[in-house]
Structure 1
């Protein structure tokens, strides 16, 4: 990195922290601190909701996912617009009518304190883990690529977020997320334009899409019912709908974003904005990854994208074996470039089909070499991370973008990490303060509850940093966060649906069903019985079924505990 990159990077991050701290200073009461004084307008809510979900993982993992597997991952988001409509019609009116600070407060009014506490605890567990991962994701990759100390990176990202989140609460999170989303959109758009500019002169955008399509990267829709395929139209539409309902409807990190709205209408419009823009945004990010793939059809790509793993093998006795694979790949790269240029100029379908078969064969040879390189890396260092999907985009940024823009794209990645982590810490602190502390520690002043919220937010920030420092890289970071959510979300969503729609089911049946279901879902995930997206539907259906069955057995012996006016 050059000096200009450091100036852009540090300047951008410093502006976000200072601006957020300044704009959100002086929260006088719990409503100001946890709900931003209910002043947020719909576009602020919409951007805040998008920024909360779009972590650094989105901008690191998603392009790499597209580079390797194509556009099919976009199907994961197909259920989101449906979920937004349901939440606008059902969840938001109830939350606003009861004037709750957290989603879990409602469950006490419908069931009892223990059900509220259980769901709050489930949220704290899964979101606490996720907060650590959202810090760890950019830190591990930037550490490997730039050689920065991993622990220092975890601490720096975490501390920056803690500063403005603790000082300003929900308003600080919402205000900074508008700036962060502007930086993110600008950076990704510029990266996309530069990738297209770097393609050979006679390769237009349409030809680039044709090249990607011939390599199977533009296959967006898969209507198969193959349970072995994680991303199909049906898993996205059905499993994705339940995941989005759980995440946006019951996860406090999202609920808190639209509870800050000036009115029900403003909150609803913010979520509809997210429903309309989220799928196109993810499509565009995946398309950036596909264009990186096309770029590397005409330019040499590394045999392995993780420089730390390459360094391990090159300093071992297996270096010559790895170099031989690199030399073999260079020959394939030259053949691929020639074949792709010829393919782009071909006019007849028969010639294109012949060339397409040749290109696919070369790409298969290249993939075989990549797999062989992973085996060599493992021999050199059995503990090395050989999955390099998350390193594809950052490698392209650091090795191909002009000076200054590298700093901006790194700011994009760190801004995304900060925005999602800030929302998570804000929600974790709020849930701990409202659902656990305030509900059980009575007689404190409003100022004391605000101070408690700040201390809990800081505590969760420290916990997230510690989790980040001991985390291990998973197969794909964006999948890891979604897997963590899917293990818990279906169960919690089922509890909320019971509360909304099945009035016959009472508190004890629901509480016992939730405990049993959580154990079942963890076992099903551990045994890998179904793709993780389906766990959302499975958990929801199981908890509702068990609760109804238990209620029939228990009869009307279950009663609701009276609710304290302090909530």
Structure 2
């Protein structure tokens, strides 16, 4: 990398901050700050969903999946489940989001199950999202640290890279906080539209350079990948411990998407930026097809990296405990190529693309959830201006928290993709179960539903702690939501006699 690359990177980060400031004058109400006044076009929302979903985790981790020893294209089975899940959300959930003036998805639970269910679900979202996005931020900091050590001789050591990663995290956290604080969700969505274009251009550029530098180009890399069984897409074995099989991908991926895209405010906030359910549904379905194509692209990059580095020719490849030998983790393969082997200009573009993928801010969704679902029930009858001020303060607070999570996870050697999706599966499964209970039956009372959610949350932590070796994270949302439904129906006769106050009206938004 050269100073030209650094100028490109710095220009991008500065531009993001300026874009956020440009939207400041429009942020006068909570409706505008948290939902963009419902005036954002569907195509921009679709691009925002793609940028939100893929982020740095896709850019860095997915190529590492195909590069790893024994890695292949079976990850695409999960993407198939993503599409199925989107179809279910479009017809089951999205029409309900547009009944009334909602700013968060958890407000639906208020009319069906009451304030406690709403507040518990919102709290789980806040915890999960801060952890997941802290890990996302760490991935980008790793790349920025690699850029630093490439420029500063003598710092290419474990200690030097760790210090550089810390500094990078602080810089990225500051940029993310600034543009979200000033511009609200409107700035976030339009920044994500820009991000999508930049990181797709960066990925295609990296793929072109890789293909030009491996024997036989892309066809040669594909032939090599076929020789090492890296092009396998389907695995029909029924093994609960395997992460990527047809059943865990399509069924588990469907429930994972129903939870992350159907009951997670991070995604639902994007739908609420449109003015009608048909446009929100079209944006969601279009995003699924784009995401699938993206996964194919990034897996092909992984095969090209395998052909470029040729790790199978090195001593110790077959016996190493690290499947991404000679790299310590799958998340370090692509960054190494970007910082060491891309030509001047392209290297800066791709690093900027990684930053673009990382700065898909969840701070607006988190702040909106805390204001509407946790703060307003405790402090009702305040002015909209008061709630807007609280929301802006919360963006600062949670920006610091996400940075702290990233700092705490610096020494993790596992794949960030696995970490992020495991956290999402643990938390979102119980929340999805609560929404499904509300949609399936009007007779289940609040107490029975909350009991099901509590049992599910405890069971999921136990499953992760004791059964992680036997059950892959792709099954977590299905298991978590199924426990809520089963317990709620079993507990219904116990709690129903508590009276009419424990039941919610038949005109519930979820009913």
Structure 1 equivalent of residue 398 of structure 2: 460
Q: Does 1:209 align with 2:222?
A: yes
Q: Does 1:178 align with 2:193?
A: yes
Structure 1 equivalent of residue 145 of structure 2: 143
Structure 2 equivalent of residue 480 of structure 1: 419
CA distance in 2, matches of 1:280, 1:271: 15
Distance apart, 1:410 and its partner CA? 0.8
CA distance in 2, matches of 1:474, 1:169: 34
8 A Cα contact 2:143 2:351, kept in partner: no
CA distance in 1, matches of 2:501, 2:421: 34
CA distance 1:488–1:373, shift in 2 (3 Å): closer
CA distance in 1, matches of 2:329, 2:323: 11
**For 1:489-542, what per-residue CA distance to the aligned partner results, in whole angstroms no more than 9, with x for missing partners?**
111100000111121211000111111110011001111241111111111111
2:486 pairs with one of 538, 542, 545 = 545
Q: Does 1:493 align with 2:493?
A: no
Give the match's secondary structure for 2:479.
helix
**For 1:314-348, what per-residue CA distance to the aligned partner results, in whole angstroms no more than 9, with x for missing partners?**
xxxxxxxxxxxxxxx8xx45xxxxxxxxxxxxxxx
**For 1:368-398, what per-residue CA distance to the aligned partner results, in whole angstroms no more than 9, with x for missing partners?**
36449999x9xxxxxxxx7321111111112
CA distance in 1, matches of 2:477, 2:196: 28
CA distance 1:111–1:161, shift in 2 (3 Å): same
Distance apart, 1:145 and its partner CA? 6.4
8 A Cα contact 1:98 1:106, kept in partner: no
CA distance in 2, matches of 1:248, 1:217: 30
Give the match's secondary structure for 1:138.
helix
The number of residues matched between the two structures is 488
**For 1:216-262, what per-residue CA distance to the aligned partner results, in whole angstroms no more than 9, with x for missing partners?**
11111111112232111110000110000000001100010111112
Structure 2 equivalent of residue 256 of structure 1: 269
CA distance in 1, matches of 2:226, 2:499: 59
Q: Within 5 Å, which residues of 2 pair with 1:98-117?
A: 98-117=100-119
Structure 1 equivalent of residue 203 of structure 2: 188
Structure 1 equivalent of residue 304 of structure 2: 291
Structure 1 equivalent of residue 49 of structure 2: 49
CA distance in 1, matches of 2:395, 2:243: 35
Q: Does 1:417 align with 2:358?
A: yes
Structure 2 equivalent of residue 229 of structure 1: 242
1:554 pairs with one of 495, 503, 510 = 495
8 A Cα contact 1:507 1:559, kept in partner: no
8 A Cα contact 1:487 1:522, kept in partner: yes
CA distance 1:464–1:250, shift in 2 (3 Å): same
Give the match's secondary structure for 1:72.
coil
Q: Does 1:26 align with 2:26?
A: yes
CA distance in 2, matches of 1:372, 1:491: 34
8 A Cα contact 1:17 1:163, kept in partner: yes
8 A Cα contact 2:146 2:336, kept in partner: no
Structure 2 equivalent of residue 504 of structure 1: 443
TM-score by length of 2: 0.91
Which one has a bigger Cα radius of gyration?
1
8 A Cα contact 1:42 1:269, kept in partner: yes
Distance apart, 1:408 and its partner CA? 0.9
8 A Cα contact 1:132 1:468, kept in partner: yes
8 A Cα contact 1:41 1:261, kept in partner: yes
**For 1:74-133, what per-residue CA distance to the aligned partner results, in whole angstroms no more than 9, with x for missing partners?**
222221111111111121111111321111100011111001111111111111111211
CA distance in 1, matches of 2:138, 2:67: 22
CA distance in 2, matches of 1:144, 1:206: 30
Q: Which runs of 5+ in 1 are unaligned?
A: 302-328, 334-364, 378-385
Higher mean Cα deviation, 517-526 or 366-375? 366-375
CA distance in 2, matches of 1:397, 1:370: 24
Structure 2 equivalent of residue 352 of structure 1: none
2:78 pairs with one of 69, 76, 80 = 76
Structure 2 equivalent of residue 325 of structure 1: none
8 A Cα contact 1:35 1:171, kept in partner: yes
8 A Cα contact 1:507 1:560, kept in partner: no
Distance apart, 1:366 and its partner CA? 4.6
Structure 2 equivalent of residue 449 of structure 1: 387
8 A Cα contact 1:506 1:558, kept in partner: no
**For 1:438-463, what per-residue CA distance to the aligned partner results, in whole angstroms no more than 9, with x for missing partners?**
22212211111111111111111111
2:232 pairs with one of 219, 233, 254 = 219
CA distance 1:558–1:272, shift in 2 (3 Å): farther
CA distance in 1, matches of 2:497, 2:13: 57
2:173 pairs with one of 158, 163, 176 = 158
CA distance in 1, matches of 2:75, 2:93: 28
Higher mean Cα deviation, 239-248 or 7-16? 7-16
8 A Cα contact 2:33 2:185, kept in partner: yes
Q: Does 1:400 align with 2:344?
A: no
8 A Cα contact 1:23 1:175, kept in partner: no
Distance apart, 1:561 and its partner CA? 6.1
Q: Does 1:531 align with 2:481?
A: no
